[in-house]
Structure 1
Amino acid sequence: MAGPGRDRVVHLLRQLERAATVSMLAHSLNALLYVVRLNLKAVLQDLQNLRARNVCLMTDKNLSRLPPVKAVLDSLAKAGVKYKVYDNVRVEPTDASFKDAIAFAKTHSFDVFVAVGGGSVIDTCKAANLYSCHPDADFLDFVNAPIGKGKAVTGAVKPLIAVPTTAGTGSETTGVAIFDYEPLKAKTGIASRSIRPTLGIVDPTHTLSMPERVAANSGFDVLCHALESYTALPFNQRKPCPPNPIQRPAYQGSNPISDVWSRHALHVVAKYMKRAVRDPEDFEARSSMHLASVFAGIGFGNAGVHLCHGMSYPIAGNVKTHSARGYSVVHPLVPHGLSVVLTSPAVFSFTAPMCPERHLEAAEILGADVRRVKRTDAGAVLSETLRHFLFDLQVEDGLQAVGYTSDDIPSLVRGTIPQERVTKLSPRAHTEDDLMGLFEASMKLY
C-alpha cells in the first residue's frame, strides 16, 4: 500500500510512538504478540514463520468472494501450503453456528487458523480453535457463567491470525468470543486470554468496501468500547480478588493503561467517524477508524465494557423482524454496534454521578462545550451530545424503531441479568428496576 493514505497511517503510528504514555505500552503490546501490518502479503510470511502445514481459513459467504480472502488464498496456493476454507460463518453467530465451525475444525488436524472478516468471523474462529484443541470439553465448559461453567482454559491452543475487514469490534486484540445462546435468547461469550489472536493484521484498504451502514454500526461499537472502558468501575474497586491468577477475568476495570487507549480512540472517532461513514473513498478517515478500532480493542480488552454492551445482548438476541439496512443477510438482524449504541444516551446519563469528570471529558472530546457545565450535569450533557452524534449519522430512533415496545422490556431485562461479566463493571450499581428504566428511556432517542 502506498500513497497519502499509507503516509497518514504511518503518521498516526508515529504519533503514538512519540507519546510517552503510549510508549510505556510497547512492552505490553509485545507481550500480547500483537502485530500491526499494512499489507496482506505479510500473511504468507507470518504463516511460514509459524511453520504452518495445514491451515484453516475461516470467513463468511460474502467475504469469500472478495479480495481480502482471495489474496490470502492466492498466497497459500503459491507457497504450496495445505489449507481448507470454512465460509459458513454466521453474521451475529449463535451457539449452533459456533458448534458447526467447531465440528469442521475437529474433523481436520489444523496447525494454524486464519480468520478473515469482521468480529463474527474472528470470534467464530477463536471458538473453533479452542474447542478443537480441547476435544473432550463440553460446549458450556468455557462459556461465561452463569450461562456456562466459566472454566479456565488450561491447555494450549493453535496460533490464530486475525485479519479484520471491518473497523469496529477490535476482536483481533481481545480474548473474547461473543455469540447468541439461542436456548435463552441472550448473548453470552467465552472470555480467556488463551484465545486472543496470535497476530492481528490490520490493512485499512479492507474497510473501503464497507457499505455506509456497516461503517456506521462498526464505528458505534468503537465509540461504545471507548466510552464504556473509560468509565468502567476502576480496577482497584473490583471485587473479589480471584484466589489464583489463572482465574483472573479478562476484564479488569478501568486503569491507567486502558485509559490511554480508550481516550485516544475516542478522539479519533470524534474526528473521523462521520467522514468515514459518509465517504467510503475517504481513505484517511477509514484508515483512522480502523486504527481506532484497534486502540479501543486494546482498551476495552483490558478494562472491559459495562451496561451498553450488557443491555445490547438481549436487544440483538430477541430481534423479531427488523432487517438492518446495508446488510446482506436473510435473517432478522439488529447489528451489534447498533444494539450497543441505542442505549448509550440513557446509560451514560445514569452512570455519570459516579465519575462526572470522565463523562464531561468524553462529552468535550465529542464536541460539547463543557466550560460552564456543573459536575451534576455531566450525564445530561454527555447524553445530549451522543443524541446529536447519532442523529447526524441517521441512527434509528430508539428501540421502537428496531421492533421493540414497552411490553418487551421485562424480557430485555431478563436477557441482561446473565451478562454479569460486563454489567458488574458498571461504575454505578443497578437494580432490575434501573434496567427497566434504562430500556424505557431508550425506546425513543430524539
Structure 2
Amino acid sequence: AELMDVLFLCYMLCVVLCSRCRCPAHSNSFHGGMKMASSNIRYGEGVSREIGMDLQNLRAQNVCLMTDRNLSRLSPVKVVLESLTKNGVKYKLFDNVRVEPTDTSFKEAILFAKNDSFDVFVAVGGGSVIDTCKAANLYSCHPEADFLDFVNAPIGKGKPITGALKPLIAVPTTAGTGSETTGVAIFDYTPLKAKTGIASRAIRPTLGIVDPMHTLSMPERVTANSGFDVLCHALESYTALPYNQRSPCPPNPINRPAYQGSNPISDVWSRHALHVVAKYMKRAVRDPEDLEARSSMHLASVFAGIGFGNAGVHLCHGMSYPIAGNVKTHSAKGYSVEHPLVPHGLSVVLTSPAVFNFTAPMCPERHLEAAHILGADVRQLKRDDAGAVLADTLRQFLFDLQVEDGLGALGYSLDDIPALVKGTIPQERVTKLSPRGHTEEDLSQLFQASMKLY
C-alpha cells in the first residue's frame, strides 16, 4: 500500500489550516516562508520484495547496494538480494558500513562508489547505512569536491548542492532515524570527537521502502534506542523555534536550510508520531513478535522523520553528538560491534528531561500537550508546571524501559562536562532551533542535570 495519497491529503489539509491560522506563532509576516519536502514512501508487509521491479523501472544497469556486515547475513538483505536476482538487476555489494559512522568510514564508502559507475544506490539498514549511502551517492556525483565542502558549518563549508545525484532507494530495518525521509546524513567527525553531518534536500532518498517485517529482527535494546530517537524527533521538532521567527531570511531559496523550525505541517506529523510512540513503543520493546507494535513504530519513525526533516531538532540532538563522540568504554547491549558505543537514540534521550524542563517556559502549552500525550494528567496544571511535568513523565518512561541511569552510567563524570560543552558548541545547525536561547553555562547545567536521572 502506498502512503503518498495520505501524505498529499494531509499536506493539503495543513495548507488550508495554515492559511486560516491566526495564532501568535504563525501570524507574523515572514518573507522567508517555508518548504515541505519528503521522500516518496511505500509501506506494507513484504513491499521490499518489489525493489527489483523498482530498479528495472529505473532502468538500472549497475546498482550499488550498501549495508553492514551483521545485516548482510539477515533476512532484510536476503529479501532484497533475491528480488534483485529475480529481476536480473546487476549490483555490487558494500557491506562494511560502520554502526555510528565516522568521517573515515564515510570516505571508505565514498571511495567504493567512486571506483565504479553506479547509476542507482540502494541502502538496506538503519540510519547508519542510509546516511553512509547518501554520502557515497553525493561525493561520487561530485568527484571534484573536498570532503568538508558539503559538511555543515562551522566544521565544514556547508556549500549548497547544485548538481544532480543518482536515485537512492532506502530500505530501513530499524524504527528510529527516519533517514529514509530526510536530506540529512550524520557522522562522527573524529578530529573533534563530535558528530556533524550533511544537510540538503538534494541527498534525500528517491524512495523509502518501509517493510515492517524487517523490524522483527531488531534486538530489544536496539528497538528501545531506535524508539527513543523517534520520541525525541517528535518532541524536539514540535517544540522547536517557529519557522517564522528565524532570521535572517535566506537571500535565495537554495540557501533555505532543511531544518526550518516548527511549522503547521511538520506539527501534524510530529504530534501524530508522539501519539504512536505513547501507545506502542513499550509493547514493541517488550515483545519482538508483536507485529502490530513494531509496524506502528516503523510508521512512527516515518511520521517523525517527515516532521523533523522539515522542522529540525534542537538541544537533545545537539548535546547528543559529543556524548556519542566522546565515548570511552561503554559497551551497548544488543549491538554487534567491537568498538565502544553509545547508540544515537540513547545519547539523545538521556538529556531529554533536563532539556524540556529548560525549554518549557518558551512554549509551555506544547510541553503540556506532549506530557498529556505521553500519559500525564495535566488537567489541573498551570503553564509554569509544564517543564517539570514533562521532565517527570519522560523520566518515568525511561525508567519503565530500563534505560541507563543518566550519563554517569555511561562512564561520564562532572570532569567531562567541559569537553561535552565544547562538542556541543559547533552544533549550531540544530542548537539554534532551541526555542530558548542558551549560554555555555546553561549547557553545563543541562549536562550536570543529566548525569543521574532517577
Give the shorter-chain TM-score range: over 0.9
Cα distance in structure 2, aligned partners of 1:84 and 1:304? 34
Tell me, yes or no, if the aligned pair for 1:89 and 1:101 is still in contact at 8 Å: yes
Residue 238 of structure 2 contacts residue 262 of structure 2 at CA under 8 Å; is this kept in 1? Answer: yes
Query: Given the alignment, which residue of 263, 282, 285 partners 1:277?
Result: 285
Deviations 1:29-69 (A, max 9, x none): 99745122321122011111111000000000000011111
- Deviations 1:352-399 (Å, cap 9, x if unpaired)? 000000000000000000001010110000000000000000000000
Q: Tell me if 1:35 matches 2:51.
A: no
- 2:100 is aligned with 1:111: no
What is the CA-CA distance between 1:76 and the residue it aligns to? 1.6
1:180-195 to 2 correspondence within 5 Å?
180-195=188-203
What amino acid does structure 2 have at the position aligned with 1:365? I
Structure 1 partner of 2:389: 381
Selected match of 2:13 from 24, 43, 55: 24
Of the three residues 91, 103, 117, the one matched with 2:99 is: 91
Query: Aligned with 2:48: secondary structure?
Result: coil
Compute the displacement of 1:261 (Å).
0.1
* 2:322 alignment partner, SS class: helix
SS of residue paired to 1:428: coil
For 1:173, what is the secondary structure of its paired residue?
coil
Kept in 1: contact 2:39–2:180 (CA 8 A): no
Indicate yes or no: 2:253 matched with 1:245: yes
Letter in 1 for 2:298: H
C-alpha displacement of 1:18: 11
After superposition, what is the alpha-carbon deviation per residue over 1:206-254, rounded to whole angstroms, capped at 9, x for unaligned?
Answer: 0001000000000000000000000000000011111111111100000
Q: Secondary structure at the match of 1:183?
A: coil
Select the residue among 214, 232, 236 that pairs with 1:206. Answer: 214
TM-score (norm 2): 0.93
Equivalences, count: 435
The C-alpha deviation readout for 1:421-446, integer Å capped at 9, x for no partner, is 00000000000000000000000000
Instruction: Give the alignment partner of residue 445 of structure 2, picking from 423, 437, 444.
Output: 437
Quick one: which of 116, 131, 144 aligns to 1:123?
A: 131
The one-letter amino acid paired with 1:146 is P
CA distance in 1 between partners of 2:270 and 2:279 (Å):
14
Distance (whole Å) between structure 1 residues aligned to residue 325 and residue 344 of structure 2: 10
Letter in 2 for 1:154: T
Give, in whole Å, the separation in 2 of the partners of 1:335 and 1:35.
Answer: 26
Percent identical among aligned pairs is 82
Q: 1:288 to 1:248 in 2, by over 3 A?
A: same
From 303, 308, 321, the equivalent of 1:313 is: 321
2:412 to 386, 404, 424: 404
1:362 aligns with 2:370: yes
Q: Provide the C-alpha distance between the structure 1 equivalents of 2:322 and 2:402, rounded to a whole number of angstroms.
A: 23
For the residues of structure 2 that align with 1:33 and 1:350, how far apart are their CA atoms?
Answer: 33
3-state SS of 1:84 partner = strand
Report how far residue 298 of structure 1 moved.
Answer: 0.1
Letter of the structure 2 residue corresponding to residue 37 of structure 1: Y
Q: Deviation of residue 20 (structure 1)?
A: 6.8
Q: Matched residues in 2 for 1:19 and 1:176: separation? A: 22
- 1:50 maps to 58
- Rate the CA distance shift 1:362–1:30 in 2: closer, same or farther, 3 A: closer
TM-score scaled by structure 1?
A: 0.95
Q: Which residue of 2 aligns with 1:328?
A: 336
* SS of match in other structure, 2:91: strand
Amino acid across the alignment from 1:443: M
Conserved 8 A contact 1:106-1:135: yes
1:173-193 Cα offsets, whole Å, 9 max, x none, are: 000000000001010000000
Alpha-carbon RMSD:
2.0
Q: Which residue of 2 aligns with 1:197?
A: 205
Match of 2:432 among 424, 430, 434: 424
Q: Quote the Cα distance in structure 2 between the aligned partners of 1:131 and 1:18.
A: 31
Cα displacement (A) at 1:26: 11
3-state secondary structure, aligned to 2:41: coil
Structure 1 residue 121, shift from structure 2 partner = 0.1
CA contact (8 A) 1:22 1:260 kept: no
> Could you say which residue in structure 2 is the equivalent of 1:6?
none
1:302 aligns with 2:291: no
* Change in CA separation of 1:134 and 1:219 when aligned onto 2, cut-off 3 Å: same
Q: Kindly provide the amino acid, as one letter, of the partner of residue 40 in structure 2.
A: Y
| Matched letter for residue 34 of structure 1 | N
Is the contact between residue 15 and residue 265 of structure 2 (CA under 8 Å) also seen in structure 1? no
**Deviations, residues 89-146 of structure 1 (Å, cap 9, x unaligned):** 0000000000000000000000000000000000000000000000000000000000
Look up the equivalent residue of 1:367 and give its one-letter code: G
Q: What is the one-letter code of the residue matched to 1:73?
A: L
Q: CA deviation at 1:79?
A: 2.2
Q: Does 1:353 align with 2:361?
A: yes
What is aligned with 2:147? 139
Partner amino acid for 1:84? K
* 1:64 counterpart residue number: 72
Aligned-partner SS, 1:251: coil
C-alpha deviation, 1:80, in angstroms: 2.1
Alpha-carbon shift at residue 401 of structure 1 (Å): 0.3
2:350 aligned residue: 342
Letter in 2 for 1:231: T
Q: Which residue of 2 aligns with 1:156?
A: 164
Describe the SS at the equivalent of 2:42. Answer: coil
Structure 2 letter corresponding to 1:122: I
Q: Distance between the aligned counterparts of 1:47 and 1:219, measured in 2? A: 30
Instruction: Check conservation: 2:38, 2:182, Cα contact below 8 A.
Output: no
Instruction: Determine the structure 1 residue equivalent to 2:236.
Output: 228
Unaligned runs of 5+ in 1: 1-8
Q: 1:384 to 1:142 in 2, by over 3 A?
A: same
